[in-house]
């Protein structure tokens, strides 16, 4: 029988600079099974997609129990390791982040994203020391469980355009090193995909680098050459699915036609995935 230790160790081993783990993020059991069926060696959730599916906005607007319940359902739906996006950790204190990490472990996940944006002010980031303590609490929870849980420390300096642009790179690297020393397994820097900057980040950060890709980003081969270890699509897959719903509704009401739903997956195929 595969243990939680085995699953987390296998997930960690998928993070190889130059041969990145590719994660088209899921938000429910069916999207997770679609991703798995495409050949994914692991499944990652997107906090935005999860929140939208649960009837809330992204950005710490769902509660911990709702996130954990959805994570458990995704874990149960697939055979590959699952990593959960737990936003800023669902807690005001490091101890509460540790409780969240323990809950994610209990749900069967092999890893989690924890971001340093401050939920009370999306334009601000937590103090690096404070964030390091929160990450250390997550690591302590994993150590207590005896599981090599993959803690992916997200740094929002670029995504939120925080601070002086001239010092943003150095600030990002400093945060990355502090987070890794606190117990993070790897670092996620969304908001930057230009090859020169990504190459420098991968070279100067002493841990696996995760970037957020999508339209306009370099292809996987270029990101791999830059030293990236993980490529995520974030909320974009869920957003694209909802765009189909919007186009179909607009077309039906405005034109009375149905072309927007052409090319959809067959009912029988989707039902079979959930059987």
Q: In the prediction, which pLDDT does 32 show? A: 99
Distances (CA, A) of 23 to 63, 65, 229, 259: 24, 24, 11, 29
pLDDT bin (cut points 50, 70, 90) of residue 224 is very high
Tell the residue number behind the tokens 């995935």, with chain if given.
Answer: 273
Q: Report the distance separating Cα 251 and Cα 95, nearest Å.
A: 50
58-72: pLDDT as tens digits:
999 999 999 999 999
Q: Which CATH architecture has domain 4-234?
A: Alpha-Beta Barrel (3.20)
This prediction has a pTM of: 0.96
pLDDT bin (cut points 50, 70, 90) of residue 204 is very high
Q: Flag whether pLDDT at 252 surpasses 90.
A: yes
What stretches of the chain show up as alpha helix (H) in DSSP? 4-13, 29-37, 47-53, 64-77, 94-106, 128-145, 168-182, 195-204, 220-225, 236-254, 267-273
Token duo for residue 161: 């355009």
Q: In the prediction, which pLDDT does 107 show? A: 99
139-174: pLDDT as tens digits:
999 999 999 999 999 999 999 999 899 999 999 999
Q: Report the distance separating Cα 35 and Cα 22, nearest Å.
A: 10
37-52: pLDDT as tens digits:
999 999 999 999 999 9
Mean pLDDT of the chain, nearest integer: 97
């Amino acid at each position: 029988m595969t243990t939680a230790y085995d699953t987390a160790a296998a997930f960690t081993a998928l993070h190889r600079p130059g041969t990145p783990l590719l994660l088209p993020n899921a938000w429910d059991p069916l999207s997770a099974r679609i991703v798995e069926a495409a050949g994914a060696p692991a499944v990652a959730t997107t906090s935005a997609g999860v929140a939208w599916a649960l009837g809330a906005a992204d950005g710490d607007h769902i509660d911990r129990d709702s996130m954990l319940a959805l994570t458990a359902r995704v874990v149960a739906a697939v055979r590959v390791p699952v990593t959960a996006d737990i936003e800023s950790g669902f807690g005001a204190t490091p101890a509460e982040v540790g409780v969240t990490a323990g809950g994610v472990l209990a749900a069967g996940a092999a890893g989690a994203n924890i971001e340093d944006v401050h939920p009370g002010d999306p334009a601000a980031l937590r103090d690096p020391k404070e964030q390091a303590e929160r990450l250390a609490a997550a690591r302590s929870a994993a150590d207590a469980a005896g599981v090599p849980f993959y803690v992916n420390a997200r740094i929002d300096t670029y995504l939120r355009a925080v601070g002086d642009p001239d010092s943003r790179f150095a600030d990002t690297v400093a945060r990355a090193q502090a987070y890794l020393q606190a117990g993070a397994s790897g670092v996620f820097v969304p908001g930057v995909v230009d090859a020169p900057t990504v190459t420098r980040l991968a070279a100067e950060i002493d841990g696996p680098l995760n970037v957020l890709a999508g339209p306009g980003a370099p292809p996987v081969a270029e990101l791999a050459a830059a030293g990236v270890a993980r490529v995520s699509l974030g909320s974009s897959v869920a957003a694209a699915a909802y765009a189909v719903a919007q186009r179909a509704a607009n077309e039906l009401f405005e034109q009375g036609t149905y072309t927007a739903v052409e090319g959809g997956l067959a009912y029988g195929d989707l039902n079979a995935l959930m059987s």
